[in-house]
Amino acid sequence: MTETLATQVAPEGTEREFTVQARSRGRTVARRFVRHRTALIGAITFLILLLFAFLGGLFWHAGINPDYGSFEPPSAQHPFGTDQLGRDMLALIIRGTQFSLLIAAVVAVIVTVVGVTLGAIAGYLGGPVDSLVNRAVDLMLILPAIVIVGVMAVQFQGSWIMVAIFLGLTLWMTLTRVIRGMVLSLREKEFVEAAKALGASTPRIIFKHIVPNCADVIIVSATLLIAQAVLLEAALSFIGLGVRPPDTSLGLLINETQSYLPTSNAWLFWITLLFIVLISLSVNFMGDGLRDALDPKANRVRA
């Protein structure tokens, strides 16, 4: 039973008890997460990447300079070297990481909102609404999503925000099915019957009482979506169907540096790829840790 509904129907004086229980569970989840060593490493790595992406530009402004030579090797002046145009690679990766994380965040928000809303409504209402949502999911699953996103991104000149929106609108199906299945079970619980007896409206029952009980799955799903979005955006930009200048991303940098692979300047490609791998691994480690920490049946946390 959600804390909100429990407070409504519980006898006077028990609200404090439910608050204490919620805080106790929060401490338990935090303790489990911290004890999950790979998840903790992932969280620290991801925090460093966030600081690098959004604060690094305040301390490192190097860009295109005619005095820079092309393909300068890594040095104190250019820690990651320069590319063929004399652009400082560190500055490019800072900006590319920032845009890749922004794209991932937008995708995670869109998928979570659409997936949770459709899944919860379909699971609770059932009948024709459920059938309609399921047919929409089936239709989206058979469409070549990456091709659709690529074509639409090209139509909008490779704007990073449009790439993020179209990715989000093609990745919500799995979460929708998961939430639908959970709601089908939760709608038969006693707290839902109590809410109906109190005269709560359908939207209130769905979004105030049922959806909060799916919070664990939603949090883990949103976390893992960040890694998935970064990889998909990188794949799209690598084949030239994603972000385009003047916007940038790690995927676009991979596209621009992949031609250096057969040469002695291949480090430009591998440095960029390393950041994509770091984001993906750190977020996946965090997702694994959150899944274990939020699992009420978990007796121990994998190290």
Residue 171 burial class via C-beta count within 10 angstroms: exposed 0-12, middle 13-18, buried 19 and up: buried
Q: Report how far residue 144's alpha carbon sits from residue 158's, in angstroms, rounded to the nearest whole number.
A: 19
Alpha carbon distance 3, 18 (integer Å)? 6
Position 14 confidence tier, pLDDT thresholds 50, 70, 90: very low
Q: Indicate the angle between helix axes 173-186 and 127-142, nearest 10 degrees.
A: 160
Identify the burial level of 210 via C-beta atoms within 10 angstroms of its C-beta, where 0-12 means exposed, 13-18 middle and 19 or more buried: buried
In the predicted model, what is the mean pLDDT of residues 282-303? 74
What pLDDT, on a 0 to 100 scale, did the predictor assign at position 229? 93
Q: What's residue 15's pLDDT? A: 45
Task: Identify the pLDDT of residue 9.
Answer: 45
What's the chain's average pLDDT? 85
Q: What is the pLDDT of residues 107-127, one digit of tens each?
A: 999 999 999 999 999 999 989
More confident residue, 263 or 12: 263
Residue-wise pLDDT tens digits, 248-292 = 899 999 999 998 888 888 999 999 999 999 999 999 999 989 888
Residue linked to tokens 């030239």: 240
The string of pLDDT tens digits covering residues 209-253 is 899 889 889 999 999 999 999 999 999 988 888 898 888 899 999
Q: Write down the CATH superfamily of domain 91-303.
A: MetI-like (1.10.3720.10)
Q: Which candidate, 206, 227, 210, places its Cα nearest to that of 288?
A: 227
**Residue 144, Ramachandran bin (φ over 0: left; ψ between -120 and 50: alpha; else beta):** beta
Residues constituting the chain: 303
pLDDT tens by residue, 26-76:
788 888 888 889 999 999 999 999 999 999 988 887 655 555 667 888 888
Q: Taking 90 as the threshold, does the pLDDT of residue 18 lie above it?
A: no
Q: Where are the alpha helices (DSSP H) in 187-214?
A: 190-197, 202-204
Buried b vs exposed e over 97-122: b needs ≥16 C-beta within 10 Å?
bbbbbbbbebbbebbbebbbbbbbbb
Reported confidence tier of residue 22, pLDDT bands at 50, 70, 90: low
Question: How much is the pLDDT for 183?
Answer: 94
Of the pLDDT bands very low, low, confident and very high (cuts 50, 70, 90), residue 156 is: confident
- Residue 228 token pair: 């998935």
pLDDT band at 299, cuts 50/70/90?
Answer: very low
Quote the pLDDT of residue 8: 46
Residue 13 reports pLDDT greater than 60: no
| Percent of residues, the chain, with pLDDT higher than 90 | 50
Q: How far apart are CA 226 and CA 51, in angstroms?
A: 16
The structure's pTM equals: 0.85
- pLDDT score of 300 more than 50: no
pLDDT of amino acid 7: 43
Would you state the pLDDT for residue 238? 87
Helix, strand, or coil (residue 87): strand
